[in-house]
Amino acid sequence: MSHTTSRRGLLFGTAAVSAGALLTACTSNDTKDDKTAANNQPAADDKPGKHVTIGFAGPQADHGWLNAINDNAKNRAKKYSDVSLEVTEGSNDTAQQIGQIETLINKKVDVLVVLPADGKALTQVGLKAMRAGIPVINLDRIFNSAQAYRCYIGGDNYGMGLNAGRYIGEKLKDKPNARVVELAGLDNLELTKQRTQGFDDALKNYPNIQKVARQAAEFTVESGQAKMAQLLQAQSKFDALWNHDDDQGVGALRAIQQAGRDDFLMVGGAGALSAFQAIKQDDGVLKATVLYPPTMAASAIDLARALGQAKGVGGLAEFEIPASITLYSAVVDKTNVDQYMSTGFR
């Protein structure tokens, strides 16, 4: 998954709307035959403007969420007759990704959208692009310097944990001596620490609830299954589980089914289609998931187009696009899952 930051510039109401619905009000040029945007929000009727070439560089799509990031960016760009998208081959090798971005700089693209494999390691190439007069939309994993990007747009990892904790807390608030466990992601990532911190902070408001175990997995199906099996073996009784990532949650659910356990509720994270489907079916432990919306990549294309055409953002009074946009980590359960189903990634 992806790094976020404490720079929470604008907090938008729901993740499915994300920044995209607001942005399309001034940037969309969809035809009457194609009235929905990449995140299935209605697109405004806006005439094409100045042609904009956008360079897009992201990491290797070795995870469902990252693949959805790429799809959202490409599909959004196709909506615009005045946008050309130059896409690099995704790479988790920082040197290779730097080289790919330098190629885009040399091609003199109008705007760059970059989801760095490592924000710190790619800060210098972001600075290089900005010095060359190419504005950068920094997507999700943030550069070390605000001078390396014109606009940051990303998710809220702390908010993810906070909302997961609140949801579980409200479900268990009347249960004496309630016990919860946490299946985290990669512990060497700052985003994992932020998600755990948010979760722990939320639980402080529920003195009847104790977190009795935490296990770190690796954002993969295999690790989710293995680590969940360990948690189940170590904890014979608990009331709720928060799993940081829906991809590793597929494995976690396998372990839960194999153990024959159904005595707790589970909350996932990110917004995978499989999670939405399980929540809607409502015949297992998975009752909710907290969004980390890949629609942010579609919104990044909107922002890049607005920058290239010297426009602001529809719905805001300012002439310029914001410096920072942080998306909201909405909780999806059976009461609202139909609203978000079309945003689920595979």
166 with 238, same domain? yes
Task: For 148-194, write each residue's pLDDT tens digit.
Answer: 999 999 999 999 999 999 999 999 999 999 999 999 999 988 899 99
184 with 139, same domain? no
The pLDDT assigned to 16 comes to: 35
Task: For 267-316, write each residue's pLDDT tens digit.
Answer: 999 999 999 999 999 999 999 999 999 999 999 999 999 999 999 988 88
What's the structural domain count of the chain? Answer: 2
**Residue at 343 is within a domain:** no
Q: How many CA atoms lie within 13 A of 30 on its CB side?
A: 23
Going by the DSSP 8-state scheme, the letter that residue 88 receives in this structure is P
**Residue at 122 is within a domain:** yes
Q: Closest Cα partner for 164 from 246, 220, 237?
A: 246
pTM to 2 decimals? 0.83
C-alpha separations of 52 from 120, 197, 231, 263 in Å: 28, 40, 51, 54
Query: Which has more confidence, 34 or 160?
Result: 160
Residue 253 and residue 286 in contact, taking contact as beta carbons nearer than 8 Å: yes
**Residue at 271 is within a domain:** yes
From 22-26, 198-202, 332-336, the region with the lowest mean pLDDT? 22-26
Strand partners, 110: none
Instruction: Tell me the residue range of the domain where 94 lies.
Output: 20-155+293-329
161 with 151, same domain? no
**Residue at 297 is within a domain:** yes
From 4-8, 138-142, 223-227, 329-333, the region with the lowest mean pLDDT? 4-8
Residue 248 sits at φ, ψ, to 5 deg, of -70, -20
194 with 136, same domain? no
Query: Which has more confidence, 43 or 294?
Result: 294
The pLDDT assigned to 314 comes to: 85
The pLDDT assigned to 46 comes to: 62
Q: Determine the 3-state secondary structure of 181 from DSSP.
A: strand
**Residue at 311 is within a domain:** yes
**Residue at 337 is within a domain:** no
134 with 186, same domain? no
The tokens describing 89, both together, are: 């081959």
Residue 180 belongs to what H/E stretch?
A: strand 178-184
**Residue at 133 is within a domain:** yes
Query: Which has more confidence, 117 or 255?
Result: 255
Average pLDDT over residues 32-45: 38
The pLDDT assigned to 306 comes to: 95
In the predicted model, is pLDDT for residue 14 greater than 90? no
43 with 150, same domain? yes
60 with 179, same domain? no
For residue 92, give the CATH number of its domain: 3.40.50.2300
Q: What is the mean pLDDT of the chain?
A: 88
In the predicted model, is pLDDT for residue 82 greater than 80? yes
Residue 35's pLDDT band, with cuts at 50, 70 and 90, is very low
In the predicted model, is pLDDT for residue 18 greater than 90? no
Give dist(CA 345, CA 126) in Å, integer: 28
Domain boundary among 268, 291, 314: 291
301 with 278, same domain? no
208 with 280, same domain? yes
261 with 315, same domain? no
185 with 215, same domain? yes
135 with 204, same domain? no
**Residue at 170 is within a domain:** yes
